[in-house]
């Protein structure tokens, strides 16, 4: 029954999207708000909770990720209410967007809760395909071109993930038989895997597929091009929800790889993420518009989450994940307002907002812009502090302390480039350019307030203790 309870809001949303009466938009919004109800219920149950045998299992890790994703989904829904006031979208395209959003949510839920590698892959593929069609709801040549590009890149990435899963399954089948597809059994028997080389090759191929889906090196630009060409709520879905399904898969696979050979896991991941941050930092320095800036910044933060996780910093990785999942969609949704008077315009975009809503909007966007570059008291400041500490602790144990100190210094230099670019853009937004009267709507402000409150909740002692208790 729980699986039906979890998927029911999405099923209702999908069905309602075929209706054509004047009140369909209200029904779509209500059904999308309802996705939070079953997840809160699931969050409160004792863990682990078997939703569907050994195929779908809820634990502290995946229910936290699913809860964060559902809050992002509600924020996106609030922004969708005023989408037509910023861009040209037909009622048919609007309903179609929700139709594929419902499909996306079903795939996302399956992949996040999956205890089976096959179900995880199916859920990820379903979420990927539905986002292709959400991109195409923007009827422009660039959106159509980028949707096809995403289809190609996504097919490559998901094929790599599938091939890696096959190799991992083959490495563990001699000891687990058909049960070698289950994450929990793979983790419990990881040290018994005799074909460790086969497993590590499978893990590396799977990880590369997942890294490509997150825009890591060497395919850094496809994600920014897709998010630039589509409607801004699609960019928010990519950064705050789709990447959740990808990162939870990396968490699961890397837990097993750590038991097989931790040194190989860390070396491979560290080199890959270091190259990614190196490339992204200079791409950010050259960014000319908000979408590309925020998209590239998202890749940098996902790389840091991966790096903290494999360094043994579970708490900083999950804190960073939650903060990024709230901050980045908030910035993407703000873009719909900031660029409504002209795309690619940065100078003076935080000027000209009047009234309480306008002033509150300016305050929240300023807050998010400063928080995303890890200025205290942003949760990202604390997660990076704890994350780099975890890297040093890991290096001390493995006697690589000097090399790790040099690597962290190099990372800090790269992060300083990003910091400089964001501060420069913030100054330009606030103090340069001509002032024009701009309109911000109530639901958009509510969406930003939701994300701001969620960030504050992350810093509460009860939230900190919960995240520290996740193993």
Structure tokens at 396: 């001390």
Interatomic CA distance for residues 244 and 242, integer angstroms = 5
pLDDT of 10: 92
CB 304 within 8 A of CB 319: no
pLDDT digits (tens, 9 = 90+) for 347-384: 888 888 888 899 999 999 999 999 999 998 999 999 99
Residue-wise pLDDT for 264-305, tens only, equals 999 999 999 999 999 999 899 888 888 889 999 999 999 999
Written as six digits, the tokens of 183 are: 């994450």
Q: What is the pTM of this model?
A: 0.95
**265: phi then psi, degrees, rounded to nearest 5:** -60, -50
Q: Say how far apart CA 371 and CA 351 lie, in whole Å.
A: 20
pLDDT at 88: 82
Question: Residue 227: is its pLDDT beyond 90?
Answer: no
- Is the per-residue pLDDT at 436 higher than 70? yes
Average pLDDT in the 42-47 region? 91
Cβ pair 258, 398 in contact under 8 A: no
Residue 361 pLDDT: 94
Confirm if 119 and 181 have CB atoms less than 8 A apart. no
DSSP 82-94: TGGGTS---HHHH
Mean pLDDT of the chain: 90
- 149-167 pLDDT, tens per residue? 888 998 999 999 999 999 9
Instruction: Please state, in angstroms and rounded to a whole number, the distance separating the CA atoms of residues 189 and 371.
Output: 41
What burial letters (b/e) apply to 239-269, b meaning 16+ CB within 10 Å? bbbbbbbbbbbbbbbbbbbbbbbeebbbebb
Length of the chain: 471
Residue 425 token pair: 């853009």
169-200 pLDDT, tens digit per residue, is 999 999 999 899 999 999 999 999 989 999 99
CB of 110 closer than 8 Å to CB of 123: yes
Which tokens sit at 215?
């825009």
Stretch 91-112: mean pLDDT, rounded?
92
Q: Is the pLDDT of residue 341 over 70?
A: no
Please report the beta strands in 76-207, taking only residues with DSSP state E, as ranges in sequence order: none
CA 333 – CA 83 distance, rounded (Å)? 10
CA 105 – CA 13 distance, rounded (Å): 10
pLDDT mean over 402-407: 87
**Element (H or E) spanning 367, and its range?**
helix 355-372
Q: Could you tell me what percent of the chain has a pLDDT over 70?
A: 99
Instruction: Return the axis-axis angle of helices 442-458 and 355-372, rounded to nearest 10°.
Output: 40
Residues contacting residue 237 through CB under 8 Å, at least 6 positions apart = 72, 76, 101, 104, 131, 134, 329
Confidence of residue 139 (pLDDT cuts 50, 70, 90): confident
Residue 2, pLDDT score: 85
Task: State both tokens at 58.
Answer: 């809820």
Radius of gyration of the chain (CA): 21
CA-CA distance, 414 to 212, in Å (whole number)? 21
Distance CA 266, CA 272 (A): 10
Distance (Å, whole) CA 2 – CA 8: 10
Strands (E) in 28-70, as ranges, are: 49-52, 56-58
Pair 254, 309: CB distance under 8 Å: yes
Distance separating alpha carbons of residues 294 and 426, to the nearest angstrom? 13
Q: How far apart are CA 39 and CA 436, in angstroms?
A: 42
pLDDT of 342 strictly over 80: no
Lowest mean pLDDT among 15-29, 42-56, 64-78: 15-29
Peptide bond into 468 cis (omega under 30): no
Confidence at residue 280, expressed as pLDDT on a 0 to 100 scale: 92
116: confidence class by pLDDT, cuts 50, 70, 90? very high
Dihedral, CA of residue 279, residue 284, residue 285 and residue 289, to nearest 10 = 150
Our measurement of the distance from residue 365's CA atom to the centroid of its chain's CA atoms, rounded to an integer in Å, reads: 19
Q: Is the pLDDT of residue 22 over 80?
A: no
The domains of the chain are located at: 2-468
C-alpha 365/C-alpha 254 separation (Å) is 35
Res 19: pLDDT:
86
The span from the CA of 48 to the CA of 213, in Å, is 28
Q: Can you read off the two tokens belonging to residue 193?
A: 């895997």
DSSP state of 399: T
Q: Residue 124 pLDDT > 80, yes or no? A: yes
């Amino acid at each position: 029954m729980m699986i039906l309870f979890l998927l029911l809001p999405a099923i209702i949303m999908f069905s309602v999207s075929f209706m054509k009466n004047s009140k369909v938009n209200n029904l779509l919004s209500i059904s999308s708000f309802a996705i939070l109800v079953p997840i809160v219920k699931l969050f409160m149950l004792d863990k682990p909770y078997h939703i569907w045998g050994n195929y779908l299992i809820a634990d502290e890790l995946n229910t936290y990720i699913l809860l964060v994703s559902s809050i992002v989904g509600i924020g996106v829904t609030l922004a969708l209410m005023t989408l037509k006031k910023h861009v040209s979208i037909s009622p048919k395209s609007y309903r179609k967007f929700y139709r594929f959003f419902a499909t996306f949510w079903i795939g996302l839920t399956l992949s996040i809760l999956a205890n089976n590698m096959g179900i995880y892959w199916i859920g990820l593929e379903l979420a990927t395909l539905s986002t292709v069609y959400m991109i195409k709801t923007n009827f422009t040549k660039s959106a159509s071109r980028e949707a096809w590009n995403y289809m190609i890149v996504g097919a490559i990435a998901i094929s790599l993930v599938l091939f890696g899963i096959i190799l991992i399954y083959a490495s563990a089948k001699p000891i687990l038989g058909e049960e070698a597809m289950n994450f929990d059994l793979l983790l419990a028997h990881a040290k018994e895997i005799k074909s460790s080389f086969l497993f590590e090759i499978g893990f590396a191929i799977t990880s590369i597929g997942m890294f490509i889906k997150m825009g890591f090196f060497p395919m850094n630009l496809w994600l920014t091009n897709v998010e630039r060409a589509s409607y801004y709520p699609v960019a928010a879905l990519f950064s705050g929800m789709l990447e959740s399904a990808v990162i939870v898969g990396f968490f699961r696979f890397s837990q097993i790889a750590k038991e097989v050979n931790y040194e190989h896991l860390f070396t491979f991941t560290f080199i890959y993420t270091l190259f990614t941050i190196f490339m992204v930092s200079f791409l950010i320095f050259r960014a000319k518009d908000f979408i590309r800036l925020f998209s590239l910044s998202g890749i940098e933060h996902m790389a840091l989450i991966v790096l903290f996780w494999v360094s043994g910093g579970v708490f900083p990785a999950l804190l960073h994940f939650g903060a990024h999942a709230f901050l980045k969609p908030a910035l993407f949704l703000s873009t719909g307002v900031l660029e409504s008077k002209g795309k690619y315009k940065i100078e003076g975009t935080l000027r000209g907002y009047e009234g309480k809503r306008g002033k509150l909007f300016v305050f929240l966007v300023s807050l998010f812009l400063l928080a995303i570059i890890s200025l205290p008291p942003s949760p990202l400041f604390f997660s990076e502090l704890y994350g780099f500490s975890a890297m040093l602790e890991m290096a001390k144990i493995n006697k690589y302390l000097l090399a790790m100190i040099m690597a962290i210094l190099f990372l800090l230099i790269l992060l300083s480039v990003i910091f400089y670019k964001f501060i420069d853009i913030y100054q330009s937004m606030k103090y340069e350019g001509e002032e024009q009267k701009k309109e911000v709507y109530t639901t958009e402000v509510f969406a930003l307030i939701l994300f701001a409150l969620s960030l504050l909740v992350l810093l509460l002692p009860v939230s900190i203790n919960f995240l520290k208790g996740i193993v």
